[in-house]
Chains A and B, each alone.
Chain A
């Protein structure tokens, strides 16, 4: 009754048999035990489960694991640019600008912001707020999340210029 799938998660290939109804977020959390991706609502409204599939930010509670077959997944655990603990500018931004309190929404926020900055390296405050429409934070009032993303955008643009 399991369906075989093959996915690449944070650069590593995985093969598994999954129940046809299993959600991608449960595959990541329960099968691969990557618990950085969170479940906050079950209705695709809170964004705590945001990951990247094939380069796009998606809500992993709205995708079946079988739909990810053959796909390329990136989660918060894969955000370190060298895979060795170095922080991505977004991760650094959230720390520097106090963009998190309880931390539960943070992985989803970072993944959503990462998708935004890929499309728009120099977003305005309004564009940042618009891009976060699908992600709830109940702790920060979003103020410092906006600043965290601005911090990362500035840093990434400088890296592009100087790199």
Chain B
């Protein structure tokens, strides 16, 4: 049986990171390498009248300079969008070109105007200072709701009214009727503010063209090397895919921002061929703020209808989502199929409708950030439910439980068909709430809260429950919804002659610990030692294909692909073992790393079978030598983890500062392979969720200039802003993948944010505060306390 699965095995990848031997893209130095610096527009919306590179070109050490005009002249297409959403009337979404460098117009601060390539990054930067660009600045718009108003500055001439697309899901008439008949309607208007993923490793890319082989190598800090290769070859540069290798070595965090194909990747690849040398580009942090795809940025009105008993009868949502100036790789999917389809939550609400408009603005692109659409859906639902509980005078936990979908395992009972297209795989929702309440000591807390109040202290508690669709995704389903790619995963399991196993996976670890978790799975499949398994990822030359890591998909999809290949190895191994033992396959059982003749002590080990496969002297006639299988796994459904998070805050009544005193998270992510790694994922997600609630927000001035584009200005949680987290779990296995796993990477970030806001509102109930805009800075909280309930300042 399982020796490794379910155990907190220490990570095998750690040693290189704790000794300074990690190899990130910027750590790579190639012979004769040159360095790129990208001159970026300081204006959100400007006509480029002229670009004079003569002084820069004359500088010692400058190798080459390319401008938007050069890119246009070379016939290079823009960066493509990977997901098509249609307007309600069936028209294709507006999809304006996104050039690698702009030629005539800058559409957001940070749009690339020219790239300087030099002998050192210092020279490249100095030379860029000498480029004279003449701009005509125009009015710009950053807020998505403002962008849709009459007379707003236009981002793209062919997208009238700045509308990228409109979209809806659910039954509008049924929902309107349900809301009209509702006994009580809870309505909230809010902003789910724009945040920056902020992986601590800035993006970097090295292009290396080898003319002798007409071959390209791109090193890039990406979550998604194979897809980058496909997009860059097929849509941007028109390169032969078999002559292009993409390597994503150690990657210092991604959180979604490194899923996408970025202009710089194509730029260094193309430029390397032009100059015949490797070209390295590494973002500085300011560039990262200007160009890494941002997250969230929704403006929403949401209404929940309840009957006299507190049953939810309808949910009506109106959202405007900010796309930025260009459509990033998965941007159109985020507010639609990763958001609108999640509005059922854990509840039986029988009528749901969302009306969504996606707006272009003069800002950097918005795309998937940890959770991608699901945090926004969870936020609006859980704020509504908590507010409804206050309004109708019911306990927030009991109101949730009353409206929960009853348990279903997806095996004996069918999956749950939602009102918004998805079918949940398995769920048992009440236990996560009960467990979280027990962990936090809910009844005692209410007494503690009352006692604190008597001392003039403000304590608050906030709930959040969530469901997410992850394990992304069945290719046919997402294809029907507009994805321009499949979302399967590949694997190869190569048993070496000595019985050691090399595993090649299309998933990409950038902190998730795949080298450990996947090795646990494979070691248990074969009954061998963990040390005998090596996980290889992140190199398109080594790994046949891959769809990368995001959407909490690695174990559910990539892990399942690995299991599939392991099963093929075991099947073939049985044939070899039967031959060696001179019995028929049916007489054998495989366990503990050996094939044993049932009822006897005659057996042959995994290593012996492997050796026989490669030294096939005494070997079955009808099978090939070797023990090496690859597989593609396309999931049957999304997976649907769920959970309940509870936050306890204390607010300083004098300053409005919110202190997160406790944070309890109970998640059901299906079966767990490595509980230590899963807990770590929850911790990190919760920290980012708290970050959005309390600290983080991208700020633009009136003309869409970024105001807080550095770590001195953009606030993220530091160690002394957070408590120790209290983490628990329940297990409801996924019924449709071989490991029964669901996914844990995004859960914390989806659930935490509304729990914190709900806790703050609870703490301020005596101040008649109904809502506070995020991030809940001390100033906002203090003003809410002193403005008689109007928290919108």
Check A102/B510 contact, CB under 8 A, given A36-B22, A40-B202.
yes
Q: How far is the CA of A133 from the CA of B711 in the complex (A)?
A: 13
**Is A132 touching B719 in the complex (CB atoms < 8 A)?**
yes
Chain B interface category by residue count:
35 or more
> With A105-B200, A138-B688 given, is the CB distance from A145 to B719 under 8 Å?
yes
**B residues bordering A, Cβ < 8 Å?**
8, 10-11, 13-24, 26-27, 29, 122, 198-202, 250-253, 255, 284-286, 510-513, 676-677, 679-680, 683-688, 710-712, 716-720, 722, 724-725, 748
Chain B residues closer than 8 Å to A133, beta-carbon distance: 718-720
Q: A103-B13, A146-B719 are in contact. List 6 more A-B contacts (CB 8 A).
A: A35-B23, A46-B285, A103-B22, A126-B720, A128-B719, A138-B198
Most buried by B among A29, A45, A48: A45
Q: A77-B20, A95-B11 are in contact. Are A101 and B29 (CB under 8 A)?
A: no
Chain B residues, Cβ within 8 Å of A52: none
Checking A29, A40, A145 against B200 with a beta-carbon cut-off of 8 angstroms, the contacting residue is A40
> Which residue from B16, B21, B683, B711 sits with its C-beta under 8 Å from A144?
B683
Residues 70-113 of chain A, each 1 if its beta carbon lies under 8 Å from chain B, else 0: 00000111011000010100010011101011111111001000
CB neighbours of A130 from chain B (8 A): 719-720
Asked if B19 and A76 sit within 8 Å, CB to CB, the answer is yes
Which residues of A pack against B, CB within 8 Å? 19, 21, 29, 33-43, 45-46, 48, 75-77, 79-80, 85, 87, 91, 94-96, 98, 100-107, 110, 125-126, 128-130, 132-133, 135-146
Residues of B within 8 A of A37 (CB): 20
A-B contact pairs, 6 of them (CB 8 A): A100-B18, A102-B199, A104-B200, A129-B722, A130-B720, A140-B680
Separation of A137 and B719 alpha carbons in the complex (Å): 8
Q: Across the interface, name the chain B residue whose C-beta is closest to A143.
A: B683
Give A93 Cβ to nearest chain B Cβ, in Å: 9
Whether the Cβ atoms of A45 and B712 lie closer than 8 Å is: yes
- Contact check, A129 vs B720: say whether CB atoms are below 8 A apart: yes
Does the CB pair A107–B687 fall under 8 Å?
no
* Contact present for B285 and A41 (CB under 8 Å): yes
In contact, B285 and A42 (Cβ under 8 angstroms): yes
Q: A35 to B16, alpha carbons, bound, how many Å? A: 12
Closest to A22 in B: B122
Q: Judge whether A106 and B18 touch: CB under 8 Å.
A: yes
A142 CA / B199 CA spacing, docked (Å)? 15
Q: Compute how far the CA of A118 lies from the CA of B263 in the bound complex, rounded to whole angstroms.
A: 46
Partner among B20, B250, B685, B720 whose Cβ is within 8 Å of the Cβ of A132:
B720
Q: Are A104 and B201 in contact (CB under 8 A)?
A: yes
Bound Cα distance A87, B718 (Å)? 27
Q: Is the CB of A100 within 8 A of B20?
A: no
Q: With a CB–CB cut-off of 8 A, which chain B residues contact A138? A: 198-200, 253, 255, 684, 687-688, 716
Classify the secondary structure of B's interface with A: loop
**Is the pair A139, B720 in contact by a Cβ cutoff of 8 Å?**
no
Task: Using CB atoms, name the residue of chain A closest to B691.
Answer: A138
Cα separation A130 to B19 with both chains bound (whole Å): 24
Contact A104 B22 (CB under 8 A): yes
Are B725 and A110 in contact, with the CB atoms below 8 A?
A: no
Contact A94 B18, beta carbon cutoff 8 Å: yes
Q: Is the CB of A137 within 8 A of B19?
A: no
In the complex the two chains form, is B512's CB within 8 Å of A101's CB?
yes
A142 and B513 contacting across the interface, CB-CB below 8 Å? no
Would A101 and B200 count as touching, CB distance under 8 A? no
A contact residues around B676 at 8 Å (CB): 98
Instruction: Give bound CA distance, A144 to B18, whole Å.
Output: 14
B252 touches A91 (CB 8 A): no
Residues of B contacting A19 in the complex (Cβ-Cβ under 8 angstroms): 122
Contact A34 B253 (CB under 8 A): no
Query: Does B20 lie within 8 Å of A34, measured CB to CB?
Result: yes
Residues of A within 8 A of B198 (CB): 138
CA of A56 to CA of B221 in the docked complex: distance in angstroms?
32
Knowing A38-B201, A91-B18, A95-B15, say if A136 contacts B684 (CB, 8 Å).
Answer: no
Asked whether B252 lies within 8 Å of A102 as measured between CB atoms, the reply is yes
A120 to chain B, nearest CB (A): 15
List the 5 closest A-B pairs by CB distance, nearest first: A36-B20, A103-B17, A104-B252, A141-B687, A102-B511
A101 lies within 8 A of B722 (CB): no
* CB pair A103 B252 closer than 8 Å: yes
A96 adjacent to B710 (CB under 8 Å): no
User: Closest residue of chain A to B20, judged by CB?
Assistant: A36
In the complex, chain B residues whose CB is within 8 Å of the CB of A103 = 13-14, 16-18, 22, 250, 252, 511
A1, chain B: closest CB distance, angstroms: 12
CB distance from B726 to the nearest CB of A (A): 10
Whole-angstrom distance between the alpha carbons of A83 and B361 in the complex? 54
